[in-house]
Amino acid sequence: MSENKITFLIQCADSKGIIAKVTSFFYEEEFNILTCQQFTDTVEDAYFMRVSLDARDLKYSREVLSSKFSVLAESLNFSWSVHYTSDVQNIAILASKTTHCLYDLLEKHRENKLKCNIPFVIGNHESVRPVVEQFGIPFFYQPISADNWGEVQSKWTKKFKEEKVDLIVMARFMRILSSEFINEFPEQIINIHHAFLPAFLGANPYRRAFERGVKMIGATAHYATDDLDEGPIIEQDVERVSHASTPAGLTQIGSDIERKVLSKAVKFHLDSRIIVKGNRTIVFPETDD
């Protein structure tokens, strides 16, 4: 199977014949379709599609392909985007004291399980430096206070745009991003919340889960929006616990879930498997493409 792919993400109102029209377009342009996934939301009468093509079949420029597809998209009122696996994305990681999610991302990147560039990691605690530098990735220490937080985010906005950062990952970064910063990077910031949202929003959820006597705990990865911990959810997982679980035990179990959930969410994003619809996501499952 070709590793060099072109992926189209499409959403529109549901109607008959969409699959036929899209696949016919790519057939006429002499593309081999590697995978074609679709989902119909019967509640909102909406249709979503992910089509993966063999990029070796592209006989003209990307601009020409987009222009040709735009004609079809306009006639069917599509919202769409196109992604090329040859464009390796740049990820900036933000981290605080807790490093299990950070370490997992860096390890998966080293093993080529996350196909991306990580040009740098920024942390607001020096204790993060040894974790990052063992992977040969530059670490930038940024002290943060209430007084300088706005200025820091302005500096980051400039830096991320200059460095052509495609995705920002909050690997248990424990500061609340401003609306101004978030709106500069729509659907480009992934956060891990160490609880199964919408329960136990905010800080120290495992202590509150213990006090509530929950029988399962989990973690949630979502896109960051103006509404704290309420952005479109990408991935979640849970594990059963019991009355015998201590806050420390819940924290350890939760940490394992957090690692798995965050790395899966990042991979879904990198693989162009996510379509955002309002405050929901459609996440197409992994296939052999």
**How many other CB atoms are there within 10 angstroms of residue 188's CB atom?**
19
Catalytic residue among 45, 54, 87, 229: 229
CB under 8 Å to 257, separation ≥6 — which residues?
217, 218, 219, 237, 238, 239
Write the CA distances from 277 to 16, 73, 226, integer angstroms.
21, 18, 16
Number of Cβ atoms within 10 Å of the Cβ of 28: 9
**Could you give the C-alpha distances from 12 to 19, 112, 131, in angstroms and in order?**
12, 34, 44
Distance of alpha carbon 261 from alpha carbon 265, whole angstroms: 6
Neighbours of 9 (CB within 10 A): 21
Q: 229 catalytic, yes or no?
A: yes
Backbone angles phi, psi at 83, to 5 degrees: -135, 140
The residue among 40, 34, 35 whose CA lies nearest residue 11 is 40
Q: Which residues participate in catalysis according to the annotation?
A: 229
